[in-house]
Amino acid sequence: MILPPHFDSSKKYPVLLDVYAGPCSQKVDYAFRISWATYLASTEQIIVASFDGRGSGYQGDEIMHAINRRLGTYEVEDQIAVARKFSEMSFVDKDRIAIWGWSYGGYVTSMVLGSGSGVFKCGIAVAPVSRWQYYDSIYTERYMGLPIESDNLKNYNSSTVMARAEKFKDVEYLLIHGTADDNVHFQQAAQIAKALVDAEVDFQAMWYTDKDHAITGQAHKHIYTHMSHFIKQCFSLP
């Protein structure tokens, strides 16, 4: 947890869950860094928290291999579970909990928001995967096997963001992607948008023309300004 300066445990603070949660990843460490989370905590009085659940690395093989051949399951469930734990803390405003992530974190954010958990008010997904058949085979098949009936097609089909479109009616969602993303192709976000439109879900979207997965240059400043406005609006901050 990154706590605001002069933190007062008698007050109620909004919480933003900063997630990645990809296979063998690590979000929580002891490294010092200045980031968007630093700004949100120091300037906007928002607690920013992260959690390494099942599927993450450096906590033993049982935890790391828990999501083998089942991406979009336990790592998603664990982010919801930890948010529920946070909501029980006396200094957390349980009605102002949000989640955000980039790349795999955008996928997990989208799967979480589409779960119908009732825990999160809003969330931001940047450059998210939406269907594993759309991602590159050297990564996807390493963790999911083959998308054929004789192997793991069932889990491929059950792990799409689009299948959860109806549940997005209960949350505020900001979807962001660069149109020139050569890692997570723009198709992934376009399919989420299509599914949400078909389900008559009101959501926000921002496309960065000719920008790749990192969304660099002037757009990098723009994306963080835009996300800050969205989070402040979600949390009803001035």
pLDDT at 163 (0 to 100): 98
Q: Do the beta carbons of residue 44 and residue 2 sit within 8 Å?
A: no
pLDDT at 225 (0 to 100): 99
Please give the span between the terminal C-alpha atoms of the chain, in angstroms, as a whole number: 23
pLDDT at 150 (0 to 100): 98
| Residue 188 belongs to a domain | yes
Q: Give me the mean pLDDT over the 47-64 stretch.
A: 98
Question: What CA–CA distance (Å, rounded) separates 215 from 165?
Answer: 26
Sign, CA torsion 132/133/138/140? positive
pLDDT at 94 (0 to 100): 98
Q: What is the CATH number of the domain that holds 202?
A: 3.40.50.1820
Whole-number CA gyration radius for the chain: 17
Q: Do the beta carbons of residue 42 and residue 13 sit within 8 Å?
A: no
- Residue 56 neighbours by CB under 8 Å, 6+ apart: 21, 24, 25, 26, 27, 63, 64, 75
Question: What CA–CA distance (Å, rounded) separates 77 from 79?
Answer: 6
- Could you tell me the pLDDT band of residue 105, with boundaries at 50, 70 and 90? very high
Q: What would the pLDDT profile of 128-142 be if each residue is shown by its tens digit?
A: 999 999 999 999 999
Q: What would the pLDDT profile of 148-207 be if each residue is shown by its tens digit?
A: 999 999 999 999 999 999 999 999 999 999 999 999 999 999 999 999 999 999 999 999
Question: What CA–CA distance (Å, rounded) separates 91 from 106?
Answer: 27
| Residue 4 belongs to a domain | no
**Helices and strands counted in the chain (H then E):** 8, 6
Give residue 107's domain range. 13-234
| Residue 6 belongs to a domain | no
pLDDT at 114 (0 to 100): 99
Chain centre distance of CA 164: 15
Using alpha carbons, list the distances in angstroms from residue 9 to 18, 19, 46, 94.
21, 24, 13, 14
| Residue 182 belongs to a domain | yes
pLDDT at 177 (0 to 100): 99
| Residue 2 belongs to a domain | no
| Residue 161 belongs to a domain | yes
Chain centre distance of CA 96: 16
pLDDT at 135 (0 to 100): 99
Chain centre distance of CA 192: 14
| Residue 118 belongs to a domain | yes
Number of domains in the chain: 1
Q: Do the beta carbons of residue 208 and residue 127 sit within 8 Å?
A: no
| Residue 175 belongs to a domain | yes
Question: Any idea which residues carry the catalytic annotation?
Answer: 103, 181, 213
φ and ψ of 71, to 5 deg: -60, 145
- Could you tell me the pLDDT band of residue 62, with boundaries at 50, 70 and 90? very high
Q: Above pLDDT 70, what percent of the chain? A: 100
- Could you tell me the pLDDT band of residue 55, with boundaries at 50, 70 and 90? very high
